Structure 1
Amino acid sequence: MSFQTTDLCDANEEAITAGRLRILAPILRHYGGRKRFAGPATTLKVFEDNSFVRKMLEQPGYGRVLVIEGAGSLRCALLGDQLAEMAVRNTWAGVVVHGCIRDSLAIATLDLGVMALATHPQKSVKRNVGEIDVTISFGGVRIQPGEWVYADEDGILVSESALD
């Protein structure tokens, strides 16, 4: 991918002012081997349970970005190396986690964009509870299913539509 979020911001100032292009607060760190990724968002809302993360990543990603609202929990991980490897096999562009991941050394070797708050060694519980393709909000930004996510070394943008 050849975009830069800085250039996208400069070229779309009107969209930022109008709220069609939103900039996530700089609260997430890069963990995946792919530092620049983009695609339409598939959203999840979960809390300390990654059952739905698995359900989504075992499906074809078609270049989408899975955006997980994990309520910012720092008590367990919602993504590990096995799920990240599944995401690569199923052609997901990236995973954005408002929560923690684990197996960060292995995830760093994968051709997958992964951004999260932090790492945590403990796995999540499996209660099979969550919501798929709902509007979520974190980092000062609302994210709806199908909106475009652009992430690179400088930040994360969310756009109502694909940007040139």
Structure 2
Amino acid sequence: MAMATAPAADAPPSLPTRSSDLCDQLGSAAQVCEVAWQSYGGRASASGCIQTLRCHEDAGLLRQTLETAGGGRLLVVDAGASLRVAVLGDRMARIALDNGWAGLLVYGAVRDTEALASMELAVFALGRTPLRGTGNGGGALGLALQLGGAQLQPGDYLVMDPDGVVVAPQA
């Protein structure tokens, strides 16, 4: 079954929505997240401007963020590469959809992957586990992140698709 592609949100009109095309256009300015991402959502790709969040085995702030209007943006979650517990599952993915988020890039684990695959949401993560994290609200929103050699800032343009994850820094 072919998976749909989420439209770009707030995409500068000159930036492509495929990772390979973005790399071709930006050349050495393209930042590739050199991580072995796995796709778990019902959409194979997404592109748009990002918001960033850092948490470690605690999904409280992630939930609070997903409860705000996403406006078609992508949420990049630095969960410290933890595969011990998931910070995202089907319930929070549903909240993301209901609030207009186009996708999530999780540097950590997700769960409820069968349900995630049935949702019209792009979800990329390092792996999966059935255990869930805490919901205490720890973490920070709107930080500069470094994932897989790429620098990510809130407002940067990001493309995630089966070929990889590429960031175009704000001009």
Same fold (TM over 0.5): yes
The unaligned stretches of length 5 or more in structure 1 are: none
Quote the residue 2:83 is aligned against. Answer: 74
The unaligned stretches of length 5 or more in structure 2 are: 1-6, 8-15
Does 1:9 pair with 2:23?
Answer: yes
Shift of 1:11: 2.0
Taking only the aligned residue pairs, the percentage that are identical comes to 36
Contact 2:97 2:121 in 1 (8 A): yes
Quote the residue 2:45 is aligned against. Answer: 36
Quote the residue 1:112 is aligned against. Answer: 121
Contact 2:77 2:106 in 1 (8 A): yes
- Mapped partners of 1:24, 1:157: distance in 2: 6
Shift of 1:127: 2.1
Quote the residue 2:94 is aligned against. Answer: 85
Out of 152, 160, 171, the residue aligned to residue 143 of structure 1 is 152
TM-score, scaled to structure 1: 0.91
- Mapped partners of 1:66, 1:4: distance in 2: 18
Q: How many residues align?
A: 157
Deviations 1:51-86 (A, max 9, x none): 011011111100110000011001100000000011
SS at match of 1:12: helix
TM-score, scaled to structure 2: 0.88
Quote the residue 1:46 is aligned against. Answer: 55
Quote the residue 2:10 is aligned against. Answer: none
Quote the residue 1:65 is aligned against. Answer: 74
**RMSD of aligned Cα (Å):** 1.4
